[in-house]
A and B are shown apart, each in its own frame.
Chain A
């Protein structure tokens, strides 16, 4: 399992109700359903991902996150998860608010644009970073709202959200001691557990 997903599953209590925003092919939901008796729902817009989730027997709803979560009742989920999608939505601040209306707690992961490799690329080449991890060109990318650890925390602060846990990982290794020492520079992916 993807390093960030492996950490997330540990944070999700057995038997809870989970909403996964941008659930992809359902990797996390499938694990949670099989190992944690979770009633999970995924929201997704990619047809192939939706078909894959349906074939796996997962609950998947075709829904565009940019249109909000108005159809979900307040406090109807224990945990709302959004992995690697924050940077791709039109209104990251609004979706964050919505996630914490619908769920008691939310777990968010995003690529850290403050990572040294991004900084190095930008400062030496003077161009928007393109890497194996973020392979898109600036004019043709689903990622329209990049942020750093510090940016995200500033948003949480402004919205008066409590950060319960924070981890920095890279794609392959789930515990980077160095990364957690200096996340904004050395963390590739930020994983946050947030509540009201």
Chain B
């Protein structure tokens, strides 16, 4: 809890809810008859409505990207280091919008919402989502806020995929796309990790086919395992090594299977435990599926340059050297396709030890470039 709010914080913020009655047709063929989107905004929309920036969240993210909900809040929003007055995404200049995506578990319509067709919670019956569904729903939110064109759409990881999809689906509606630690589609290895995470949840006896709410339980073990697997892929070998090494929690080896012996075990269990208490298992499986399905080139004869040829935006692409979940080589695929499509693009490969998690860290080189890129945008 901050005793007082830092000067470069957006300060106290409150989420808002937008309700949409117009049905949303989804890529899977089903439609959402109505839905809510929970979002936050920081800064002021200018009179020309030209300074809006959309922040797209990653797998476990949400609408609370910056500032504090109350003075009692322990930590600020998930990207507070980047968003605020004088920060790289400068709220003195930009009107920043961040929402919780459909399928989420932080207030927007998702598995924990009531399915109007049945009067019961969606649970495991929530439609399987594709990144493009989120982009369509975000466009509706933009309409509601009176934003015709985003100055920039920015996202890391799964958020970067949304930024890319925006540039393809609504080329006229954004000037810049900032794609950080992302990939043009998942590799077999990426999908494999997601499948392990999903199976951990789906095979948990407490999952009950996704209807665990009515059984008054949660698939805690499954969700915990899923997060533990995920977490391994977010950190680099070196980062784990320097953080935990082979350090023990106990003073000697116990020669059993139930003790938490290595520090890294303790850390992963803590992360899993904490996550399982705040995140919805159905949302987790939905998000991993959306990742697996993401492949904007598929609609263009598997040609990524052709897909990105639709774009009118300029691009900034950033990767991190030790990120092995979405390695620099994956970002290079995006850059090469953009070059091939004759788009304006800048690319940074930031030397950082943190692995995939680096995209959430205030690494000086990364933030300097992000700030420089956004500063020169003419509104």
Contact = CB atoms under 8 A, between A and B. Distances in A.
A1 interface: no
A55 interface: yes
13 contacts: A53-B346, A54-B316, A54-B346, A54-B369, A55-B375, A55-B376, A59-B344, A60-B347, A61-B339, A61-B346, A61-B347, A62-B347, A62-B349
Interface string A40-64: 0100000100111111111111110
Given A17-B342, A39-B344, A62-B349, 10 more contacts: A51-B368, A52-B372, A54-B316, A59-B344, A61-B347, A62-B347, A62-B348, A71-B335, A72-B339, A73-B340
Contacts of A47: 365
Chain B residues touching A, range: 20 to 34
Given A60-B346, A61-B335, A61-B345, A55 B340 contact: no
Given A55-B372, A55-B376, A39 B335 contact: no
A52 B375 CA distance: 12
Contacts of B368: 51
Contact of B348 (A50, A52, A56, A72): A50
A56 B376 contact: yes
B335 A51 contact: no
10 nearest A-B residue pairs (beta carbon): A55-B372, A71-B336, A61-B347, A57-B376, A62-B349, A54-B372, A54-B369, A51-B368, A60-B346, A54-B373
A39 B365 contact: no
A39 B368 CA distance: 24
B346 A59 contact: yes
In terms of DSSP, what is the predominant structure of the interface of chain A?
A: mixed
B369 A50 contact: yes
B332 interface: yes
Interface of B: 316, 332, 335-336, 339-340, 342, 344-349, 365, 368-369, 372-373, 375-376
A59 B373 contact: no
A38 to B, nearest CB: 12
A22 B332 CA distance: 18
Q: Point out which of A53, A59, A73, A76 has the most chain B C-beta atoms below 10 A from its C-beta.
A: A59
Contacts of B342: 17, 39
Contacts, number: 50
A59 B345 CA distance: 5
Interface in A51-110: 51-63, 71-73, 76
Contacts of A51: 365, 368-369, 372
B346 A71 contact: no
Given A71-B336, A72-B339, A55 B373 contact: yes
Contacts of B347: 60-63
Nearest to B333: A71
A50 B369 CA distance: 8
A71 B345 CA distance: 14
Nearest to B337: A71
A192 to B, nearest CB: 25
Contacts of B345: 41, 59, 61
Contacts of A73: 340
Contacts of A41: 339, 345
